[in-house]
Amino acid sequence: MLKKIINYIDLGVHYGQEIDLFLKQFDWAQDSEIRIYGVEANQWIYDELVKKYENIKNVKIFHCAINDKNEPVNLYIGHNDALGSSTFSTKKNVTSEAQKVEGITFNDFIQNNVEDFENSYNILKMNIEGAEMFVYEDMMEHDLLKHFDVLCGHPSHDVEKISELDNSDRKQKYYDTIKENNIDFLFYCADSERNIQQCVDMKKHMNKPKPKNLVFMMDIDIKGDGRYASSRRAAYKYSIDSWKRWCDKNDCELFVLNDLILENDKMGICWQRYYLFDILDANEIEYDQVLMVDADTIVHPDCPNFFEMTEHKLCGAQFDGSWDWVLRGIENYSKYMFDGYMMPWHEYFDCGFIIVNDKHRQLFQDIVSFYFTNQDGLIKLQETFFNGTDQTPVNILVHKHNVDLKLLPYEFNMNDMNRKEILGEDLLFTKIGWIYQYNAIPNNKDNQLTNYFMEKTYKHFYGELNE
């Protein structure tokens, strides 16, 4: 059996306290190949580290400083046993005494030194007195974050100790990166017995079962009239069961929300799904990625696992419905809600199929905030131009916030099928795609055609529903 490769990358080794703890935690780890890469900028300490680990072949120590450029930099020595030394001269508790050391960008350090980086379990420990900022910048520029399984170290933010960064855009970007990517920074600081007791046990943490992917649906009976009539959801049971079967086959979980978060007159039901992360938190549900899918869909039993296609980006499916409706919607929302901001129309997606993960938590909070800030205007716009509810504003917000977006093929959200002349008694659509959405059907009084074709499709694939 091939051993799992674990790369432990320690930026700011100091005297090796965390390396020692890591080696202790992984002592006798027969199923893993451990590789340790330590970076220490202080020449005196580096020399001691080389001697300390000279007989441990899987520990490599590098004398350099993580920087935003590949060029020599000054390391300003800390007052207390060189503790707190920094490449920032304005950091608190450093002296004017400095050592010249080679600076290297984080990306270049990884590419030049860390073997099998993209195929390994990667743990990054950081305590580099403000230079963490350079690491996050490189992670974003070179899309490195997705390759790290654990980020750890001391959770304090050393950028707060550096006066030259006060009120700077760069410092704000540092915090925005952490927030927008929902970076979970584990405590791993072994400079005292008390702190060692608080450190995460890396081996146990690594062996925790990975949270499953989740399919999230809403099936809420508002008991109203028209589009809120109970009869409209008569066939949702077929959708839910088809997704339950798909989840069982693909080792995923299904969560169906049956209750409103707020009364419908205070917040439209379509907008309430953007409380997704709060709902999952409240139910103590762990997850990796989440598909938010409408309940007027049926999934093909052989639908590929789309969670494996996302690259952990926000994913929709390529839209191919009424472009007249879409373009009018973008134009109207742009004019009346977004001060003329226009999104690229060819990247429009249907909100009936969206895959997200925890780094999109802030986006969903912003969507909810947008709704309540603009509630009256949104309702007026919907009643005036009939351009839908949440879908177009959400599309615009995704682009306005520069969210990394990936569009899967139309086969993963086949909306407006009647327009393509594939929605008929022969169920032609079942031969050319994976996920079918029964919307935009002409003469669909009381949703009868939607319910009819959902039931017919379900029975075609799965037979009678066991209720």
The yes-or-no verdict on residue 225 having pLDDT over 80 is no
What is this structure's pTM?
Answer: 0.74
Res 466: pLDDT? 86
At which residue do the structure tokens 């608080």 appear? 198
Whether 80 has a pLDDT exceeding 60, the answer reads yes
Task: Provide the pLDDT for residue 2.
Answer: 53
User: Which residues are CB-neighbours of 446 under 8 A, at least 6 positions away?
Assistant: 229, 231, 232
As a whole number, mean pLDDT of residues 268-277 equals: 96
Task: Name the residue among 47, 42, 31, 38 with its Cα closest to residue 16.
Answer: 38
| pLDDT tens per residue, range 294-306 | 999 999 999 999 9
The 3-state DSSP class for residue 406 equals: strand
pLDDT at 1 over 60: no
Of the pLDDT bands very low, low, confident and very high (cuts 50, 70, 90), residue 207 is confident
Average pLDDT over all residues of the chain: 94
CA distances from 39 to 2, 49, 59, 68, 291 (A): 28, 10, 11, 15, 40
Location of each CATH 3.90.550.10 domain in the chain: 214-462
First to last CA, the chain: 45
With a pLDDT cut of 90, the percent of the chain lying above it is 88
For the segment 419-463, what is each residue's pLDDT rounded down to a tens digit? 999 999 999 999 999 999 999 999 999 899 999 999 999 999 999
CATH for the stretch 4-206:
3.40.50
Q: Give per-residue pLDDT as tens, 320-342.
A: 999 999 999 999 999 999 999 99
- For domain 214-462, give the fold: Spore Coat Polysaccharide Biosynthesis Protein SpsA; Chain A (3.90.550)
Q: Name the band, by pLDDT with cuts 50, 70 and 90, for residue 239.
A: very high
Q: Which residue has the tokens 């995923």?
A: 252
pLDDT, mean of residues 128-151 = 96
CATH code 3.40.50 region(s) in the chain: 4-206
Indicate whether 261 pLDDT > 90.
yes
Tokens of residue 92, six digits: 């608190």
